[in-house]
Chain A
Amino acid sequence: MSIVSGPEAHEEDEFRFHTGRQAPTGVQDAIEFVDVHKAFGRNKILRGLNMGIPEGRISMILGPSGTGKSVCIKHMVGLLYPDQGDVIVHGQSVPNMHDDELFEMRKRFGVLFQDGALFGSMNLYDNVAFPLRQHTDKGEDEIAEIVNRRLREVGLANANDKMPNELSGGMRKRAGFARALVLDPDIVLFDEPDSGLDPVRTALLCELIQEIHEENGGTYVVITHDIMSARRVAEHISVLWRGRIVESGPAEQLFESDNPFVRQFLSGDSQGPLGME
């Protein structure tokens, strides 16, 4: 690091490793970020983000803590609006949608929030059944069958009538996971499905993600800090840092990348461009 550096030099420094290279994936993008800027007050989070999420693949967004991965996900479903730029889902611009269109679009999404976001006033069963009751005319029997299957898959078959505040963080995560998937959505967004889980459950959850993806298809976006998970399930990887993409492309290519930041991050090395700051 040079001590004397003007603002411009600093600017250049900051994005030194951001080649922004988007290796071709061979399929269309389901979700596209076009030059998105987003700031909270003075705190600039997204700074000209260009990112494509390929249709029908399991994509992972990796990046250091606090770079705005969760903020990204909220842009995709219209919970946050960009200050500048555009977010496009299946060819439609999300920030320009009317409320009605937005609600229609959201039905095709399944979202697992970082902390599960279960409804505190309902037990687990009702939480997972909620989207079905909200959006389908299925009878209670059919709903029970689907909900019980999903809860079994995530290992919560015996916790049906527990309230969210009686559960551990990992259990809430898994319940949120089940709820995100009950409607078999076209696009599924998982915000750190594997954080707070033990290593075995993480591995099992990764398998589950793959299984369900094979069964139902659809575009999956997974945010994770766990490189092992990334190696296991990612088909496409985007590395996000300082509000921009460092590099993105098919997983095999990213793991072979010679970009110093990507290498450091994907190998979890303490030596490299990323420090504590």
Chain B
Amino acid sequence: MVRSVADRAFSPARNVLEEVGDMMILTGRTIASALRPPYPYGGEFVSQFLFAVRLCWFPLLISTVAFGYGAPGLQAANFLVIFGALDRLGGFFVLASIREFAPFVTAIVLAGVAGTAITADLGARKIREELDALQVLGVDPVKNLVVPRFLALMLVTGLFNIYALIFGIFGGVLATLTNGAPLGPFWATFFTNASTTDLWGSVLKTTLFGAIIAIVCCYKGMTASGGAEGVGRAVNQAVVIAFLGIFAFNYVFTQTLLATHPEIQVIR
């Protein structure tokens, strides 16, 4: 009796923990399987990479320029103008764009556009029993489907982060111009504050975001059940879990980076 009440009360929590555990196991298996020969996933890797690039470049372009221009650009500029310190916007963009906004916008666009496509694709294959058929034909789905998506998404997210950085900063430039200020001071404060630590930290972080998105989306796709409706549910859950994972991981990563590299906390 006590047990059944406890079961009912805690089972959602237990299921979530179980799923997280399963995803950890999948991560481990994916990495092991990526390293161990043979390497049959080259073709799939290239096609997944191009697929993600084709799907994401335009939404990402719009999001980053609009976001960079609107949020940190115009709003921070408004604020800085009060102090007559609009030149500081460049320095602020190192903090805002490189460290947080570019990685976030990249991750959100990648999860929402490429991640959902992966979950829907794998989910549909699972429902049609294609994944079972593959396994019976001696094809390991982890090696042939998860590994290429995992690697492709890590690479794409890392690269797209630089792309998002560039267009995000372009949004800041636009905001400076909107305020009728010259660009020289913007770049000056930008480069005194920017450090290589910021750059590699940002790229490393987004690469790992890509890994989280890939694992969550592949896991949710491969465990979809319950017909077409089940695929829809899986896609929905995949996005939610990926976002939560990214936010949680971002906290840990930023804290660790700041703690290990205290010099980047100093605003020059």
Q: In the complex, how many residue pairs between chain A and chain B have their CB atoms under 8 Å apart?
A: 45
CB pair B138 A117 closer than 8 Å:
no
Question: Within A99-117, which residues are at the interface with B (CB < 8 Å)?
Answer: 99, 103, 106-107, 109, 111, 113-115, 117
Question: Within B104-132, which residues are at the interface with A (CB < 8 Å)?
Answer: 124-125, 128-130, 132
Size category of the binding interface on chain B: 10 to 19
Q: Is B181 an interface residue (CB 8 A)?
A: no
User: Who on chain A is nearest to B139 by CB?
Assistant: A134
CB pair A134 B137 closer than 8 Å:
yes
B residues near A, CB below 8 A?
124-125, 128-130, 132-140
CB pair B136 A106 closer than 8 Å:
yes
User: Who on chain B is nearest to A40 by CB?
Assistant: B225
User: Who on chain A is nearest to B134 by CB?
Assistant: A119
Mask: chain A, 107-131; 1 = CB below 8 Å from B; 0 = not: 1010101110111100000000011
CB pair A119 B139 closer than 8 Å:
no
Q: Name B136's contact: one of A109, A115, A118 (CB within 8 Å).
A: A109
Q: Is A98 an interface residue (CB 8 A)?
A: no
List, in ascending order, chain A residues with CB within 8 A of B132's CB: 74, 79, 113, 117
CB pair B135 A106 closer than 8 Å:
yes
B146 to chain A minimum Cβ distance, whole angstroms, is: 15
List, in ascending order, chain B residues with CB within 8 A of A240's CB: none
| Complex CA distance for A98 and B158, rounded to whole angstroms | 36
User: Who on chain A is nearest to B124 by CB?
Assistant: A120
List, in ascending order, chain A residues with CB within 8 A of B135's CB: 77, 79, 106
CB pair B139 A117 closer than 8 Å:
no
List, in ascending order, chain B residues with CB within 8 A of A120's CB: 124-125, 128, 130
| Complex CA distance for A109 and B137, rounded to whole angstroms | 8
* Smallest CB-CB A-B distances: 10 pairs: A117-B133, A117-B129, A113-B129, A111-B136, A103-B138, A79-B132, A77-B136, A131-B137, A106-B136, A117-B130
Which one of A111, A117, A131 has the greatest number of beta carbons of chain B within 10 Å? A117
26 sample A-B contacts, Cβ–Cβ < 8 Å, listed by A number: A74-B132, A79-B132, A103-B138, A103-B140, A106-B137, A109-B136, A111-B133, A111-B136, A113-B129, A113-B133, A114-B129, A115-B128, A117-B129, A117-B133, A118-B128, A118-B130, A118-B133, A119-B130, A119-B133, A120-B125, A120-B128, A120-B130, A130-B137, A134-B138, A135-B137, A135-B138
